[in-house]
């Protein structure tokens, strides 16, 4: 069976450094930090009192009040980003909706909904009074379901949940469904809205987040010697993936081609990465093999790079094992230094970042670098503090999740 080619024909983004694709790219290319004190709730008693929130977000700017009340914020984010991607692609024009699907990613789903309903019950008189929308708002698949319902897409429809690898897994799944001929187009990506009391408190309990409350703007500092954990982010990233001949027939613009996807498991620990990096070595090798390319063909790696002491080092070790001497010719950067960590939504916005880097021939920087980490090879190009212009033909996007889930996605400059 001959596999079909899959291209990207639409992009959407709602991020802490820009509320659409254009604003997002402006933030990325100019090294803008999205971190600031938390406004969603009173965080004064928490060890971490800052996060990367969506700026100026008001659901009533996008939905009527009644509609917004039926959706958790992670689903609202999913609809906003996917609406932009669908409009960008022109996918609603002259398309067989039976052959269009939605595969979305979210690691946690409706955390705020779950938190609020449990608090309401626990502080009441014990009478079980729950909002009838509690369950449909909370469950992760309400995101893909709502996107499908809004647009009438009747193709494959489900959500991937694999912690911080969730939306990269959704992209790989969509890629496979299309190249196997099971759909002609799929809206994919991911969203997360975990900046809540429970989200911040839970990650603080794990000692996973930065506690740099005196300087939140520079708190996300991947590969810096003094990094002390990730900064929690929120938002959504969306892509429209489409079978090439289908896109060509309708005259769609093409951003890039997706040419490979790899998955692996550390099989090591439920939260900690394997310090040897072997699972990450395997996932990048799997993706390269799937794409049919050599390590020497890669120009840019958008790393997982969360700003955690163990995780950053393990990924760098793996990159050097996979790419050898070519590792010194590749640009590496972590856009989480700007957006924070969107958890299950990370792969969505980072795939968009990788594609925009190819389009604009510009590598987004890893900001907030102040002190070299002697354990990391100084010959590697981490694209510190300032974007770097270069021709990018092939870009890799890495995302890894609690539980040892590893995913790599590879995009190539479009050349018909």
Report CA 282 to chain centroid distance, whole Å.
Answer: 20
Residue of 273, 296, 335, 283 whose CA lies nearest to 52: 335
| 6-249: CATH topology | Peroxisomal Thiolase; Chain A, domain 1 (3.40.47)
Two tokens at 331? 């640009």
C-alpha to C-alpha distance for 84 and 200, rounded to whole angstroms: 29
Residue of 98, 7, 24 whose CA lies nearest to 339: 24
Residue of 191, 196, 193 whose CA lies nearest to 84: 191
Q: Are 97 and 26 in contact (CB under 8 A)?
A: no
Domain definitions of the chain by residue range: 6-249, 263-413
C-alpha to C-alpha distance for 41 and 8, rounded to whole angstroms: 37
Q: What value, to the nearest 5°, has the Cα angle with vertex 223 and ends 222 and 227?
A: 65
Active site residues: 164, 304, 341
Residue of 382, 380, 348 whose CA lies nearest to 363: 382
What is this structure's pTM? 0.98
pLDDT of residue 13: 98
Q: Which residues pair with 152 in a beta bridge?
A: none
Q: Own/partner pairs for 116-121, CB < 8 Å, 24+ apart?
A: none
pLDDT of residue 94: 80
Residue of 156, 46, 164 whose CA lies nearest to 108: 164
Q: Which residues pair with 159 in a beta bridge?
A: 104
Q: Please tell me whether residue 285 adopts helix, strand or coil conformation.
A: helix
pLDDT of residue 415: 86
- Tens digit of each residue's pLDDT, the chain (416 residues): 799 999 999 999 999 999 999 999 999 999 999 999 999 999 999 999 999 999 999 999 999 999 999 999 999 999 999 999 999 999 998 899 999 999 999 999 999 999 999 999 999 888 999 999 999 999 999 999 999 999 999 999 999 999 999 999 999 999 999 999 999 999 999 999 999 999 999 999 999 999 999 999 999 999 999 999 999 999 999 999 999 999 999 999 999 999 999 999 999 999 999 999 999 999 999 999 999 999 999 999 999 999 999 999 999 999 999 999 999 999 999 999 999 999 999 999 999 999 999 999 999 999 999 999 999 999 999 999 999 999 999 999 999 999 999 999 999 999 87
Assess whether the region 6-249 and the region 263-413 belong to the same CATH fold.
yes
| 263-413: CATH topology | Peroxisomal Thiolase; Chain A, domain 1 (3.40.47)
pLDDT of residue 391: 98
Q: Are 298 and 47 in contact (CB under 8 A)?
A: no
Helices and strands of the chain, counted as H and E runs: 13, 14
């Amino acid at each position: 069976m001959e596999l079909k080619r899959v291209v990207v024909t639409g992009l959407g983004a709602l991020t802490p450094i820009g509320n659409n694709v254009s604003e997002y790219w402006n933030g990325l290319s100019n090294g803008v930090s999205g971190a600031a004190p938390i406004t969603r709730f009173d965080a004064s008693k928490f060890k971490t009192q800052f996060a990367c929130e969506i700026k100026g977000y008001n659901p009533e700017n996008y939905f009527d009040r009644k509609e917004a009340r039926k959706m958790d914020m992670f689903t609202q984010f999913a609809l906003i980003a996917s609406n932009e991607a669908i409009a960008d692609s022109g996918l609603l024009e002259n398309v067989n909706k039976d052959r269009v699907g939605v595969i979305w990613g979210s690691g946690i789903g409706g955390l705020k909904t779950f938190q609020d309903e449990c608090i309401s019950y626990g502080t009441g008189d014990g009478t079980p009074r729950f909002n009838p929308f509690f369950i449909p708002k909370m469950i992760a698949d309400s995101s893909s379901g709502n996107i499908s319902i809004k647009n009438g897409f009747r193709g494959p429809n489900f959500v991937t949940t694999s912690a911080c690898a969730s939306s990269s897994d959704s992209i790989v799944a969509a890629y496979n469904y299309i190249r196997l001929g099971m759909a002609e187009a799929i809206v994919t990506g991911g969203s997360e809205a975990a900046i809540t009391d429970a989200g911040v408190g839970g990650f603080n309990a794990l000692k996973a987040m930065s506690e740099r409350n005196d300087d939140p703007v520079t708190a996300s500092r991947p590969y810096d010697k003094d990094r002390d954990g990730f900064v929690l982010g929120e938002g959504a990233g969306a892509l429209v993936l489409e079978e090439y001949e289908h896109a060509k027939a309708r005259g769609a613009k093409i951003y890039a081609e997706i040419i490979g996807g790899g998955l692996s498991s550390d099989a090591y620990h439920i939260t900690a990465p394997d310090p040897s990096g072997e699972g990450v070595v395997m996932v990048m090798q799997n993706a390269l093999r799937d794409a049919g390319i050599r390590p020497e063909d890669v120009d840019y790696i958008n790393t997982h790079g969360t700003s955690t002491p163990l995780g950053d080092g393990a990924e760098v070790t793996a990159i050097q094992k996979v790419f050898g001497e070519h590792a010194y010719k590749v640009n590496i950067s972590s856009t989480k230094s700007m957006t924070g960590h969107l958890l299950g939504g990370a792969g969505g916005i980072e795939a968009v970042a990788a594609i925009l880097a190819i389009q604009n021939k510009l590598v987004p920087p890893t900001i907030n670098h102040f002190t070299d980490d002697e354990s990391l090879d100084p010959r590697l190009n981490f694209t510190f503090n300032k974007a770097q212009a270069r021709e990018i033909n092939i870009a890799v996007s890495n995302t890894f999740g609690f539980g040892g889930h590893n995913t790599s996605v590879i995009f190539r400059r479009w050349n018909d």
